[in-house]
Amino acid sequence: MEKLHRVAGKTVIKRYRLLPYSEIVDILKEDGAVFFEDTREQPLKRGTIWKAARRLSEMIQKKVVAQYVLMKTENGQAGLEGYLFSVVTPQDQVQKEKHV
């Protein structure tokens, strides 16, 4: 099963079939980013992640983006594959426009 990981802490929440939106929203509001582990047994579709980012944006009234990333664990042994949901700040948008 996939797991939700607090980027700045150690909170782990197991996922059953649906994304745990309320937990994701709480962590996004506190930390601005959350990692959601994906598994090969039940991979998430890109459309599901895109819709989740859109729904999360509506729920917290800020733009949320999702990126497929590899996160190293704290002990440094193995990396976890999954999606990083993060809140886009106005500074991020200005910097992106300058690089384009």
pLDDT digits (tens, 9 = 90+) for 78-98: 788 899 999 998 766 555 555
Cα separations in angstroms, 45 against 32, 51, 67: 23, 10, 13
- The CATH number for 54's domain is 3.30.110
**What one-character-per-residue DSSP string does 11-34 give?**
-EEE--SS--HHHHHHHHHHHSEE
CB 71 within 8 A of CB 35: yes
Residue 43 binned pLDDT confidence (cut-offs 50, 70, 90): confident
**What one-character-per-residue DSSP string does 33-53 give?**
EEEEE--SSSPPPHHHHHHHH
- Structurally, the chain folds into a number of domains equal to 1
The span from the CA of 73 to the CA of 48, in Å, is 25
Range of the domain at 73: 3-99
**pLDDT for the residue numbered 15:** 53
